[in-house]
Structure 1
Amino acid sequence: MFPTPIEKTSPAWQTTYKVMLPIMLILWLLPLIAVAVFSVKPDADFTTGNYWGFPSSFEMFANYGKVFFESDMPRYMMNSILITVPTMIGCIILSSMTGFALGIYKFKANIWVFFMFVAGNFVPFQILMVPVRDLTLDMGLYNTIPGLVLFHIAFQTGFCTLFMRNFIRALPFELIEAARVEGVAEWRIFWFVVLPLMKPALAALAVLIFTFIWNDFFWAVVLTQGVESQPVTAGITSFNAQFRAAYHLMSAGSIVAALPPVAMFFLMQKHFIAGLTLGAVK
């Protein structure tokens, strides 16, 4: 039923596994490697067609210097922070409360309310492009950071509620009953009993939401325009000129834009893995 451990397979298969593993790893990382190589190439390599060859000269400091000091990349990065962090906090706060209500309280419409939260995740977001854009225009939120934050909170809360509700339902209900017997108020049960037990799930959810929102490109293009509100994913396209693209600067900007979510994951790796695997075994 389960795959045979590699240590128990034949010597020929073990050798094949050891040979194929680094090859597949390189193929998987090839796009990232290509972007990293492009980011240190001079502009002349692209005008002469030297896309995949060895760089004629290493221009790492020149390319990254232009990205940081001769473009609006720092402003785009700040916009992404101002969009991602409030969204992450808002989603965690709302989903913790809704997950607690749907996971602890038993009422007739419980499952239907839960389905309403989950159903939004199955709607293709492309069909919502025009209505959402018109709504932000009518509300005066188009091309603003608060508008993008509110939109992301509204659309991500459904997934976050699904995540938190299922986690809370796995907690021992006896803890809730014991607190109620002691006469503890419901909000104190949430704050002092349930919330401390949710720390691994909150950490895992924070990493997921941070990554989702930081890497968003579609809604960043639809709902924002210009350096005053665009996040870094959309701002990278500003390196495109009228007749050609500055691939070396776009690649350097892409590497810079990818660093925050990678750093976020490694900082929260222990809690992230604990949150995803908690309850996997008894």
Structure 2
Amino acid sequence: MSPLPTDTTTAGSAPPGPAAPAKAPPGRRRRPRPGRLGLHAFLMTVSLAFLAPLALAVYASLRPYDETSEHGYFSLPRSLSFDYYRQAFTDSGMTKYFVNSLIIAVPGALLALFLASFVAFAVARLRLPGSILLLMLFTAGNLLPQQVIVTPLYVLFNRIPLPYWMSDSMTMFDSYWAVILVHVGFQIGFCVFVLANFMRTLPQEILEAAIVDGAGVWTQYWRITLPLCRPALAALGTLQFTWMYNDFLWALVFISDGDKLPITSALNNLRGQFFTDYNLLAAGSVIVALPTLLVFLLLQRHFIAGLTLGSSKG
């Protein structure tokens, strides 16, 4: 008689559960979905469309104008050189124009961020009565077309006196102050809108703890709130510097002295009366764009962090 099979499970132990599903091999990746492939293809197409004019300008600036006029801009090059860059930098006197642009763009961007952070802190963190109306008022200022107030500002700046050490013309007109003031006035609304919405996402418990420790309003603003807004300030600072640096309208209207004009006006010195070498003009345009590219590369990490704020929770 064969022995009965013995049960190897001990008393009180749970019966074995179902077998775990087998894991996929570590080297195998999930196949991308068609929707994601289409999104990547669309983004690559848009990126190439935006980069194509810049690439064409760089390509044209390295070729002689006679060669492109004979064979076209989309032909293969016979020779490449950096002679146009040297000629564009020396013929247009870009050094002083670079300095003029920095005198306008750097203080203008810093002043716009500084004043906007004041208003944004009051609107978002102090819970003042009418704060929403104030935020709407600053935001609505961006909807006003800038060109409609060129004439009133021109008349106004000619009537505002300034001491000689601030302006050679003894008025606001024909001075850097006029251009900086206009830039700050038009850009502060956008900065207030962005900073106020970012400050609303900060935990209110941080300020409450600071108030319990005896922190005043200035300490709450300068030592607690502003350090937390560093990504947003970096992103806004990059945009503000780029917009003020690339501006041509306001400097052309409010500055009459050619030695005070910004870098964008230097490109006009490369245009001849009867003939324009567009390859030389392309080289000058690339040189003008280098400072904004440098600012973006230096603040790239903070700029991307500022753009992705609020994209995820936790």
What TM-score do you get using the length of structure 2 for normalisation? 0.78
Supply the distance in 2 between the matched residues of 1:274 and 1:103 (Cα, whole angstroms): 21
Describe the SS at the equivalent of 1:166: helix
Give the Cα separation in 1 of the matches to 2:179 and 2:296. 23
Q: Which residue of 2 aligns with 1:44?
A: 66
Tell me if 1:119 matches 2:144.
Answer: no
Question: By how many angstroms is 1:42 displaced?
Answer: 2.3
| CA offsets 1:194-252 (integer angstroms, 9 cap, x no match) | 11111111111111111111122232333334532211122211211111223122111
What does residue range 1-282 of structure 1 map to in structure 2 within 5 Å?
A: 7-9=32-34, 25-45=47-67, 50-60=72-82, 62-139=83-160, 140-282=171-313
Aligned residue for 2:4? none
Calculate the aligned-residue CA RMSD, in Å: 2.6
Tell me if the contact between 2:58 and 2:283 (Cα under 8 Å) persists in the aligned partners: yes
CA drift of 1:57 comes to: 3.7
Q: Is contact 1:42–1:56 with CA below 8 Å preserved after alignment? A: no
Alpha carbons of structure 1 residues 175 and 138: separation in structure 2 relative to 1, 3 Å: same
Q: Unaligned 5+ residue runs, structure 1?
A: none
Structure 2 alignment gaps of length 5 or more? 1-29, 161-170
Call closer, same or farther: CA 1:168–1:17 in 2, change over 3 Å. Answer: closer
Amino acid aligned to 1:63? Y
Matched to 2:66, the amino acid is A
What amino acid sits opposite 1:279 in the alignment? G
| Residue 24 (structure 1) shift | 5.7
Q: What is the letter of the counterpart of residue 242 of structure 2?
A: T
Contact 1:220 1:233 in 2 (8 A): no
| 1:120–1:6 Cα change, 3 Å | farther
Asked if 1 retains the 8 angstrom alpha-carbon contact of 2:235 and 2:302, the reply is yes
Deviation for aligned residue 1:43: 3.9
Quickly say closer, same or farther: Cα 1:144–1:54, change in 2 above 3 A: farther
Q: Partners in 2 of 1:274 and 1:186 — Cα distance? A: 27
Tell me the TM-score normalized by structure 1. 0.87
**Partners of 1:91 and 1:19 in 2: CA distance:** 38
Distance 1:242 1:29, change over 3 A: same
CA contact (8 A) 1:227 1:235 kept: no
CA distance in 1, matches of 2:288, 2:155: 29
Task: Give distance in 1, aligned partners of 2:43 and 2:221.
Answer: 46
In the alignment, the residues of structure 2 paired with residue 21 and residue 197 of structure 1 have an alpha-carbon distance, to the nearest angstrom, of 31
Separation in 1 of the partners of 2:191 and 2:259? 29
Deviations 1:151-192 (A, max 9, x none): 111111111111111111111111111211222111111111
Structure 1 residue identity aligned to 2:153: V
Query: For residues 57 and 141 of structure 1, do their structure 2 counterparts lie closer, same or farther at Cα, with a shift above 3 Å needed?
Result: farther
Q: Structure 1 vs Structure 2: percent identity of aligned residues?
A: 35
Q: How many residues align?
A: 274
Report the Cα distance in structure 2 between the residues aligned to 1:19 and 1:275, rounded to whole angstroms.
25
Contact 2:122/2:128 (<8 A) preserved = no
Indicate the larger mover: 218-227 or 49-58: 49-58
